[in-house]
Amino acid sequence: MRITMIGSGYVGLVSGACFADFGHNVTCVDNVEAKISALKSGVIPIFEPGLDELVSTNYKAGRLNFTTDLSSAVADADVVFIAVGTPSRRGDGHADLSYVYAAAREVARSMKGFTVIVTKSTVPVGTGDEVERIVAEERPDAEFAVVSNPEFLREGAAIEDFKRPDRIVVGTEDARATSVMEEVYRPLYLNSAPVFFCDRRTSELIKYAGNAFLAMKITFINEMADLCERVGADVQKVAKGIGLDKRIGDKFLHAGPGYGGSCFPKDTMALVKTAQDYESPVRLIEATVAINDNRKRAMARKVIIACDGSVRGKKIAILGLTFKPNTDDMRDSPSLAIIQALQDNGADIHAYDPEGAEAAKGLLSNVTFGKDPYEISEGADALVLVTEWDEFRALDFRNLSKLMSSSILVDLRNVYPEDEVSRHGFVYHGVGRSGAVA
């Protein structure tokens, strides 16, 4: 099939490359000329394991193309995916749908013949109705159907998630659109991917409900971690004990500094705002948002307590800046709030991240960035593990103890057992473990 992907960011580029890899002819559109030129030259604007090779292979094979010419790309397409950003709107927290609606207008002006317009972007309930209205207003003569098809890609594992998904949700009640979407996803049937068809509004809400539930699960275990520290229990064992219950499951039960990234913060807030608009408040989600925001700075207080109550004038080494491993995404990363809080208390911050340093430089000031964990640890008063990159899982603590001024490890991801680091003279502080600083 001929597929056009409007938006060549994270979702659009990964989805477009994967569709092409399954044999479809895909054109990715973006209005930033520099990005399109870079993609044609094999330069990927984001870090996602395996994406550079996937893009290169399919571009060379002629199945994947890039352009700034939306009109011609849409005119030739059977299916047009809208995969533009829907950031939180400044001032009120609602999802900013201006990019979605602008794309819909351009699609309407350019499409020829029956066209399926798919919202891949994460959008609030009712957005598809508005897209349909816009297109009909622009082109009363056009034959089209608007479909909701939310993405469920995890950064760092997006290609695997696309090719072997838990489910594919398609929101439409149009018979022609259903047939087209079945053909689009037919190659995935060999991977036993369940395609779940429902009405459009239900599909739109599924995405928000799923992310909100996972955000609640993270927040729940973080609150249990705080309680564990007070009562002398171990949150990792609590998580395992409840996760063995198949009704609960063990995913997203890892205590830490709170959630971040491009999805959970904005999607939980957008769901709260949607619920308020419909006078059906979602109190659990409201609490989740508030607790998560407070938790990030609370992690800085944990570091301060570990440093005998003050970090003023002290060098603090930060391991990991991105909101999770295997991505360069700094959006709403817990490290930002933690570092700012430590700086507010007079700390001298030195940081290292395998992929996120360049993005972090535009978001942080007065931070010294190093080339590896050992460089930033030289003379440090404390080492704080914020993001659990693989290369941080087997640190040389014997060497670190010689480099650092004080042997203190604040492990905000519970990567290490206390006895492993304490035998090298380190004072260990984890999250939700007996003896951890609260």
Topology of domain 2-198, CATH: Rossmann fold (3.40.50)
Structure-token pair, residue 211: 């992310």
User: Contact at 8 Å (CB) between 16 and 8?
Assistant: yes
Q: How far apart are the first and last CA of the chain?
A: 56
User: Contact at 8 Å (CB) between 386 and 412?
Assistant: yes
DSSP state of 88: B
> Can you tell me the distance from the alpha carbon of 126 to that of 323, in angstroms, rounded to the nearest whole number?
30
C-alpha pair distances (Å), 191 with each of 48, 105, 187, 383: 22, 36, 8, 44
Structure-token pair, residue 349: 């911050």
DSSP state of 280: -
User: Contact at 8 Å (CB) between 414 and 431?
Assistant: yes
The reply to whether CATH 3.30.43.10 applies to domain 233-438 is no
C-alpha pair distances (Å), 279 with each of 64, 139, 271, 272, 275: 45, 34, 12, 10, 6
Can you give the pLDDT at residue 376?
98
Query: Domain map of the chain by residue range?
Result: 2-198, 233-438
Can you give the pLDDT at residue 437?
56
Give the CA count within 13 Å in the CB-facing half-sphere of 275.
Answer: 17
> Can you tell me the distance from the alpha carbon of 388 to that of 326, in angstroms, rounded to the nearest whole number?
10
**Residues with Cβ within 8 Å of residue 264, at least 6 apart in sequence:** 211, 214, 215, 218, 332
| Per-residue confidence in pLDDT tens, the chain, 438 aa | 999 999 999 999 999 999 999 999 999 999 999 999 999 999 999 999 999 999 999 999 999 999 999 999 999 999 999 999 999 988 788 999 999 999 999 999 999 999 999 999 999 999 999 999 999 999 999 999 999 999 999 999 999 999 999 999 999 999 999 999 999 999 987 766 689 999 999 999 999 999 999 999 999 999 999 999 999 999 999 999 999 999 999 999 999 999 999 899 999 999 999 999 999 999 999 999 999 999 999 999 999 999 999 999 999 999 999 999 999 999 999 999 999 999 999 999 999 999 999 999 999 999 999 999 999 999 999 999 999 999 999 999 999 999 999 999 999 999 999 999 999 999 999 999 865 555
Q: What is the largest CA-CA distance in the chain?
A: 76
Burial grade of 161 (CB within 10 A; 0-12, 13-18, 19 or more): middle
Can you give the pLDDT at residue 38?
95
Domains 2-198 and 233-438 share a fold: yes
Three-state SS for 254? coil
Query: If phi over 0 gives left and psi between -120 and 50 gives alpha, with beta otherwise, what is residue 258?
Result: left
Structure-token pair, residue 50: 């395996």
- Point out the residues that are catalytic: 263
C-alpha pair distances (Å), 316 with each of 67, 363, 372, 402, 405: 45, 18, 14, 16, 10
- DSSP annotation string for 123-171: --TTHHHHHHHHHHHH-TT--EEEEE----PPTTSHHHHHHS-S-EEEE
Can you give the pLDDT at residue 90?
81
Tell me the backbone φ, ψ of residue 431, rounded to 5 degrees.
-120, 120
DSSP state of 51: H
Beta strands per DSSP E along 280-420? 315-319, 348-352, 367-369, 382-385, 408-411
C-alpha pair distances (Å), 341 with each of 93, 108, 202, 265, 336: 23, 48, 40, 19, 9
> Can you tell me the distance from the alpha carbon of 120 to that of 116, in angstroms, rounded to the nearest whole number?
12
CB burial of 86-108 (b: ≥16 within 10 Å; e: otherwise) equals: bebbeeebbbebebbbebbebbb
**Residues with Cβ within 8 Å of residue 190, at least 6 apart in sequence:** none
Structure-token pair, residue 134: 């816009």
Tell me the backbone φ, ψ of residue 298, rounded to 5 degrees.
-65, -30
